[in-house]
Amino acid sequence: MFKLKKYLQISKMSWQTNFIYRLNFLMWRIRTVILLLSTYFFWYAVYRFNSQVGPYDEKMMLTYILLSSVLHSLVLASQSFQIAQDIATGKLNRRLVKPINYLKTMMALDFGDKASNLFFLFFELLLIFIILRPPFFIQTNPFYLFSFLAVSLLSLFIYFYLSLLVSLVTFWYPEDYGWPARFLFMVVNNFLSGALLPLDIFPSVIFHFLRLLPPAYFIFFPLQVYLGKINHVQVWQGVLVMVFWVFILKILSRFFWQKGLKNYNAVGI
Amino acid sequence: MNFKKYFSVWRQTTILSLESKLSRRFSSLIFILGKFIRFGFYIFSLIVILGKTDKIAGFNITQMINFFLIFNLFDLVGQFFFRGIYWLKGKIVSGTFDLTLLKPASPLFQTLITDTDLLDFPLLFMVVVMLIKQNLNISLINLLLFLLLFLVAFSIITSIHILIASLGVITTEVDNTIWIYRDLTLLARVPVDIYMDSVRAFLTFVLPIAVVFTFPAKALMGLLSWSWIFYSLIFALLFFIFALKVWRFALTKYSSASS
């Protein structure tokens, strides 16, 4: 219980950090809204001239786009990139000597950040709904709603461990504070997660390949569940695949964390 | 303005920037690769979407690809020349902006242009080649109009960067502002004509994304009226004067962090 309290306190700190540079935070929130609106307006315009794009009508597509912003804030927004900076700059030295688990600390920071993202996104989306009144599909089936929450939570862990692995590359390649690997990861993720458009719009050969990869479970798969586009068996299969990925990525990240620590130069000591 | 002196400074800083990139070859390669992958993903997605739809706002797939290529052209030109603005916050917060002010060259020039990002060059080159291949049969008048609007667009991009730098000097906020500008420009990957009236008006008269990205593309394809060409010229001129005035005002508000 005491241990949990400790990490809860770290999550709170992550939340509070956002408000130190308020203008910076405000600009960040404006960015989030602009990014959402730029994708929303694009698809809204497409549906002004077309009633159907692939398997999506206007209502389903706009619901996908709006909810993908929620999952983006929940899953893809992460503080785990800091691990790479800690390794490259030697800040990790200070962190390792503290009587708290470093990786759990980063996870707690991550959760605090996600909580603040979700909190503010709620009000931003509310404003968008009041002003734009977009057509929105409300899922009423409890199975799909519950499954959506469960797979969103699982996707959060898959992303954390995958992002951690990317950060750990810095143990062996500390140049540019780990940004090259992070940049590549972000570029690939942005598309393969289905953040910009649903993956089932792509030709079927490409889609069937992409849906096997971990990024497909960050945004695309949870939204397939919410929209009820897959049956119960496919939902369970997806959950099993996600559990498999969490398990594998956790083992891999532990392995490379231990290996990396042996290779760590402890810059700054 | 002593153009010879400034060109010489730009050339020297560009050589230094190149040397810096070459000293980190693997990182530079990864960044270049990432830029190509992002471009490839976007163009592939656009082709897939257009393949599943009828014409959007009357534009066919070739025209839409032209709009996308010209968006990339100006986006990359902005990043290629003005990457220095991304480091402005650090300079202001640490107080090293004092050194910029002390040097015998325009602080605005030093802030904007002295960190040419050569990592954008390979993609920029490919985009130009693709654009030429796409538009081999254009008329001379369309080409000349495009070149004129290229200058207009470059002037507006410069003005926007000056305004962002000014805001940075006053508030130390640069990082998110430059990204807000870049996020807004994403709307211009397709012609702004497809958007609803209010969005289109905003992108034409308030934040001139349409003038920078859509108008040159339309001029190239012979789709832009003379009235919009005159509007672009006048807007660019007034916007540039406004940006310079804001910059001068911002410098009066600068408080040195290190002193």
pLDDT digits (tens, 9 = 90+) for B124-140: 999 999 999 998 889 99
Range of B215's domain? 24-252
Task: Report helix, strand or coil for A56.
Answer: strand
Q: Which residue has the tokens 């976007």?
A: B42
Tokens matching residue B89: 């916050």
- Asked if B92 and B224 count as a contact pair (C-beta separation under 8 A), the reply is no
The helix, strand and coil proportions of chain A, stated in percent and rounded to the nearest 5, come to 80, 0, 20
* Residue predicted with more confidence, B258 or B174: B174
Question: What chain A residue is nearest to B42 in terms of C-alpha separation?
Answer: A191
What is the complex's ipTM, to 2 decimals? 0.88
- Asked if A65 and A40 count as a contact pair (C-beta separation under 8 A), the reply is yes
Query: How far, in Å, CA of A111 to CA of A74, rounded?
Result: 9
Chain B residues with CB-CB distance to A173 below 8 A: 26
Region class of A220: left (phi > 0), else alpha (psi between -120 and 50), else beta? alpha
Domain-embedded: residue B91: yes
Query: How does DSSP classify residue A53?
Result: E
- Alpha carbon of A134: minimum distance to chain B alpha carbons (Å): 14
- Asked if A148 and A226 count as a contact pair (C-beta separation under 8 A), the reply is yes
A27 touches B: beta carbon within 8 Å: yes
The DSSP bridge partners found for residue B209 are none
Query: How far, in Å, CA of A153 to CA of A146, rounded?
Result: 11
For chain B, what's the residue count? 259
Express as a percent the part of chain B with pLDDT over 70: 98
Query: How far, in Å, CA of B97 to CA of B254, rounded?
Result: 10
Number of domains observed in the structure of chain B: 1
Beta-carbon separation of B184 and A46 below 8 A? no
The DSSP bridge partners found for residue B7 are none
Q: Cα dihedral angle (A105, B89, B178, A162), rounded to 10 degrees?
A: -20
Domain-embedded: residue B194: yes
Query: How far, in Å, CA of B23 to CA of B2, rounded?
Result: 32
Chain A residues with CB-CB distance to B176 below 8 A: 24, 27-28, 30-31
Domain-embedded: residue B157: yes
**Closest in B34, B38, B199 to A41, CB measured:** B199
Q: pTM for the whole thing?
A: 0.89
Region class of B64: left (phi > 0), else alpha (psi between -120 and 50), else beta? alpha
Average pLDDT per block of 10 residues along chain A, 269 residues long: 76 80 83 90 88 92 94 85 88 86 88 88 94 93 96 94 94 89 93 92 93 93 96 95 94 94 76
The reported pLDDT for the residue numbered B258 is 59
Chain B residues with CB-CB distance to A131 below 8 A: none
A23 touches B: beta carbon within 8 Å: yes
Confidence of residue B257 (pLDDT cuts 50, 70, 90): low
Domain-embedded: residue B3: no
pLDDT in tens, B45-98: 999 998 888 777 788 888 999 999 999 999 999 999 998 888 888 888 888 888
Express as a percent the part of chain B with pLDDT over 90: 62
The dihedral built from the CA positions of residue A171, A110, A27 and B258, taken in this order, carries a sign that is negative
* CA proximity to A128, closest of A233, A44, A253, A229: A44
Domain-embedded: residue B37: yes
- Asked if A102 and A261 count as a contact pair (C-beta separation under 8 A), the reply is no
B199 touches A: beta carbon within 8 Å: yes
- Asked if A5 and A31 count as a contact pair (C-beta separation under 8 A), the reply is no
Query: Residue B154: in which H helix or E strand, if any?
Result: helix B140-171
Cα–Cα distance list, A51 to B67, B144, B205 (Å): 23, 39, 30
| Mean pLDDT taken over chain B | 91
Domain-embedded: residue B171: yes
Beta-carbon separation of A187 and B48 below 8 A? no
Query: How far, in Å, CA of B233 to CA of B108, rounded?
Result: 23
Which one of B87, B176, B206, B213 would you mutate to disrupt binding with A, by most A Cβ within 10 Å of its Cβ? B176
HSE-up (13 A, CA, CB side) for residue B61: 12
Domain-embedded: residue B133: yes
| For range B198-215, the mean pLDDT | 92
**Closest in B48, B57, B176 to A27, CB measured:** B176
Cα–Cα distance list, B147 to A156, B111, B219, B243 (Å): 48, 26, 9, 23
Largest CA distance in chain B: 62
Q: Which residue has the tokens 């951690």?
A: A164
Question: What chain B residue is nearest to A199 in terms of C-alpha separation?
Answer: B45
Q: What angle do CA A57, B200, A43 make, to 5 degrees?
A: 15
Across A171-207, b (16+ Cβ under 10 Å) vs e yields beebbbbbbbbbbbbbbbbbbbbbbbbbbbbbeeeeb
Beta-carbon separation of A180 and B26 below 8 A? yes
Q: Which residue has the tokens 């971990």?
A: A214
Domain-embedded: residue B170: yes
